Structure 1
């Protein structure tokens, strides 16, 4: 399909893939980097955690599934559709996941998602990772709006979003299906200052 934009794209096509997916420092020993084949066991183990299963409806069942997901992550970057990072301690131990999905370069928008392994919870890992990606996306790449949603029952995720500067914009009624049924979802967003 061919179309013509009535306004210039907020972010020109090719901006993301002009360089490899970046490694991002997130303060202290926290480093976000692209997923690597060596992370497959840690990724699969994380999805066996009951809290991650509760809030994330798609779960890999085997290491082969994880490898397929990682292949998809690399394709997403190459197509400028999404970016997926391992949240790590000094680039090694996996502490969590941070993703920008649904990238819309024309409008300069994307959605964010995250999880943290049980041993890393309560230490600000998710907040620092989300802040690092948000700062890179807005200040370096030029995204205008980043949004995220989470179940209204997921108070920890709500705290992370708020601490990372994502304003609660409202509640999407009955917007997502979880293992225990439909959930209302909070919608948060961070918008780049125009000043």
Structure 2
């Protein structure tokens, strides 16, 4: 298919290199690609009741965790997604996950997704990690628009999105099926040039 516009993110600009590790502005966090050694922590994360509540997928075994990590790698290679482990820069403690999903390089658009382990909640991990990936995607890679959606019942994610400058754009009614039924989803976005 031929487009009438050139790609916002030039072809090859991501897949021509290995997925980067990205430090936070304060130097306290590091977003790094998932590794095979992360299988146990990934499986344990999806045992957390809060992560299970807001995420529709499960990781029920080491084999599923290995496959998920392999899928994360394929996402980068195929320029469809980028998934990082959020770690403490000093010592490498795993704190959570950050992702750019459904990357559309032609339009320069992607969706942000994240979770934070129970042991790291309340320490500002999610806002700092989201700021890190958004600044990298918009300023360094050249994405034009980053989206973030969350259940209207997930007030913590709404606070994170707002704090990081993702403007509220409205509600997508009955948009995602969770274990407890259909949820309305808040839509947020940050675009190039937003303060």
Alignment of 1:1-195 (within 5 A): 3-26=1-24, 27-90=26-89, 92-193=92-193
Question: How far apart are the structure 1 equivalents of 2:171 and 2:115?
Answer: 21
Q: Tell me the TM-score normalized by structure 1.
A: 0.96
* Number of residue pairs aligned between Structure 1 and Structure 2: 193
Between the aligned partners of 1:56 and 1:107, the Cα distance in structure 2 is 26
What is the CA-CA distance between 1:28 and the residue it aligns to?
3.8
SS at match of 1:97: strand
- SS of 1:16's equivalent in the other structure is coil
Offset at 1:122? Answer: 1.1
Q: TM-score, normalised by structure 2?
A: 0.96
CA deviation after TM superposition for structure 1 residue 22, in Å: 0.8
Deviation beyond 3 Å, 4+ runs, structure 1: none
Alpha-carbon offset, residue 29 of structure 1: 2.0
Offset of residue 54 of structure 1:
0.2
Partner of 2:57: helix, strand, or coil? coil
Task: Note the C-alpha offset of 1:19.
Answer: 1.4
Instruction: Return the alpha-carbon distance in structure 1 between the equivalents of residues 50 and 170 of structure 2.
Output: 24
Distance 1:28 1:49 in 2: 27
Once the two structures are superposed, what CA deviation does each residue of 1:88-110 show, in whole Å capped at 9, x if it has no partner? 01262110000100000000000
Where in structure 2 are there 5+ consecutive unaligned residues?
none
> Which runs of 5 or more structure 1 residues have no equivalent in the other structure?
none
Q: 3-state DSSP class of the match of 1:132?
A: helix
RMSD: 1.3
Please list the CA deviations of residues 47-94 of structure 1 after superposition, one character each: whole Å capped at 9, or x if unmatched.
100000000010111011010011111111011000000000126211
Give, in whole Å, the separation in 1 of the partners of 2:148 and 2:55: 13
Aligned equivalents of 1:73 and 1:51: distance in 2?
22
Q: 1:194 to 1:116 in 2, by over 3 A?
A: closer
Equivalent residue of 2:189, what SS?
A: strand
Once the 2 structures are TM-superposed, how far is the Cα of residue 30 of structure 1 from its aligned partner?
0.8
